[in-house]
Amino acid sequence: MPACSKNKDKDKDNNTAEKTVDLGETDDNAKAADDNQDKPRRNRSGNANRSRNNKDNAKPAKDSQDDKAAPPDPPKEDDAKEAPAEAANNEANGFDFSDDAQKPPAEPRIPKPRIGLSIEKLINIRELREQTNYAGALSEAYLQGQVPEPRYNAMRLAPDDASKLGFAIQVWKPGNESAASKRFNDLFTQSFGGQKIRGVATDAFTASHHKLNELAFFDKSKRSTVLMSCSDDICSIEQLKSIAQIIQKRL
């Protein structure tokens, strides 16, 4: 029995020693394991933080690139419909917000002069002198108030005295016989004491008033009507008849 007691005590001491060593080793190993585990964790945490920071720092640059590369949003259908209406309203109200408003104003359009019926070759100053024996000054001038047109024109040979008419001729070529005849009849109706005469063109009349002598004639074949007016100190009625025959041939 004593031997057994000693053996038990010996076994107890051995177990106690083994347990003590195991605890120490376990603590050291656990501590080392904890240290080894903490290091990778800190490394991973540090790397993760740095990676996250790098991503956060790179994000604005990426966003900036995306902003540059992204195309503008297309106009909405409602905006596209409203734009012409708004432009029309601005134009109606006299406002112009387009680029054209910044441009210098365009030059005003000048209408082309109306080309009148050619009558320059019907009579000239030299021929008038020959037919009337008038020696005073004469110059070509416009007949005031008469506008040249393709089927009408007028010409005046004016003296130095502005109070006198001188010699004036008006020619109508309306394009047909009926219109030319109507023009002649209207002139006759409006004349001051007009008298029909024979021997000049198809139909003719003369009139004298306000120190003027006049002769008008209608030429059926030329579909033309002519009215001549002359100051009575330059032309007589008989002289106007001679001038009428020259002009009739040149129509």
125-250: CATH, from 3.40.1000, 3.90.350, 3.30.70, 1.10.3470:
3.40.1000
> Which sign does the torsion angle of CA 155, 159, 162, 167 carry?
negative
Among 115, 138, 133, residue whose Cα is nearest residue 243: 133
Give the residue, 48 or 250, on which the prediction is more confident.
250
Cα-based distances in Å from 125 to 19, 84, 136, 228, 235: 155, 64, 11, 14, 13
Please state the pTM of the whole predicted model. 0.56
List phi, psi (to 5°) of 181: -65, -40
Nearest to 124 by CA among 243, 236, 224: 243
| Mean pLDDT lowest among 141-150, 162-171, 230-239 | 141-150
pLDDT at 73 over 70: no
Q: Do residues 96 and 90 make contact, with C-beta atoms less than 8 angstroms apart?
A: yes
Tell me the pLDDT tens digit for each residue of 134-158: 999 999 998 988 999 999 999 999 9
- The pLDDT assigned to 115 comes to 77
Query: What six digits make up the tokens of 195?
Result: 């008298």
Amino acid at 236: S
Residues comprising the chain, all counted? 251
